[in-house]
Structure 1
Amino acid sequence: MPLWNLYYHFVWATHERQPLITPIREAPLYQFIDHKTTELGGSLHAIGGIADHIHVIVSSPPSLALSEYIRLIKGSSSRYLNANHPSPSAKFKWQQEYGVFSISPKNLDLAIAYAQTQKRHHAQGMTFPRLEPDAIFTPTSP
């Protein structure tokens, strides 16, 4: 079995930054992403967000392309939420864009803390712009 030590910080938003990650959906969504990450051979280290986007800190095996990981996570989590936690007002959908950043092992704890305290960071206006690039969250035209 190969040895690998790869850490990534993913950021992605809901479709058109709609506030679709409601308090009722948040815990099931995070649990689903944890389960799916494990199923894909990775490890979820942290997850956190606000109503319109999430930050996910994972270890992913080198055999799984990052674009494939995000495609599988976003697609399956949308289907899961729409089937198990539907909303009468809006179908759950992710924006196509995403951001991904590599994390050195020495900075892993900082990345975990940042993801886990997203609500506080946003409430206090103390986010790291580099980890929340506007280009990721700008709605695209139809």
Structure 2
Amino acid sequence: MRYKHNKVSVYLHFVWTTEDRLPLITPDIERDLYRCVQEICLTHHCEVLAIGGMPDHVHLLLKMSPTISMAMLMKEVKGGSSRFVSERLKPGEWFRWRAHYGVFSVTPKDRERIRHYVQNQPAHHADHDLIESAEQSEIETDG
């Protein structure tokens, strides 16, 4: 079988935290922060399927583009969004992400379940969801 175009179908679930896990993602900036993250992803041809989080971390489910690496995407997302918050949403206030992040591959079969998990973070945290526990241990052991 011949393909005229590359076919890439890679779904990833990213998780990253604020510096020292401080509750810096307040309700007054949350929506604009997520919009900024989404715009950065779109600039790099990544399709955002879900974004959500808590005051100290963000979850992002997306379809990756073959034109950018995971590491470069996270550098762009974290750098661009922290500048956006510090310069536009809360000028003069300190906002920084922790250097590390977690990334997990998502099968097509699990995509909808992970999308729901990402979009419903407060409920999952109230239930102490097992996915969160696994992600937390991955992030904490990475540094």
Does residue 44 (structure 1) correspond to residue 42 (structure 2)? The answer is no
Answer whether contact 1:43 1:59 (CA < 8 A) is retained: yes
Tell me how far 1:106 sits from its aligned partner. 1.2
Tell me how far 1:135 sits from its aligned partner. 5.1
Structure 1 stretches lacking a partner, 5+ long: none
Structure 2 stretches lacking a partner, 5+ long: none
Equivalent residue number for residue 117 of structure 1 = 120
Identity of aligned residues (%): 34
Answer whether contact 2:44 2:67 (CA < 8 A) is retained: no
Answer whether contact 1:74 1:94 (CA < 8 A) is retained: yes
Larger Rg: 2
Give 1:85's match in structure 2, choosing from 89, 94, 109: 89
Tell me how far 1:113 sits from its aligned partner. 0.4
Tell me how far 1:123 sits from its aligned partner. 2.0
Tell me how far 1:3 sits from its aligned partner. 1.9
For residues 1-142 of structure 1, what are the structure 2 equivalents within 5 Å?
1-86=5-90, 90-128=93-131, 129-130=133-134, 132-134=135-137, 136-137=139-140
CA distance in structure 1 between the aligned counterparts of 2:55 and 2:74, rounded to whole angstroms: 19
> What are the Cα deviations for residues 62-121 of structure 1, in whole angstroms up to 9, with x where unaligned?
231100000100000000011111166x51100001000011111110110010011111
After superposing the two structures, state which structure 1 stretch, 59-68 or 41-50, moved more: 59-68
Tell me how far 1:127 sits from its aligned partner. 4.2
Number of aligned residue pairs: give it: 137
Tell me how far 1:2 sits from its aligned partner. 2.2
CA distance in structure 2 between the aligned counterparts of 1:2 and 1:135, rounded to whole angstroms: 32
Answer whether contact 2:49 2:115 (CA < 8 A) is retained: yes
Query: How does the TM-score come out when normalised to structure 1?
Result: 0.89
Q: What secondary structure sits across from 1:105 in the alignment?
A: coil
CA distance in structure 1 between the aligned counterparts of 2:35 and 2:19, rounded to whole angstroms: 21
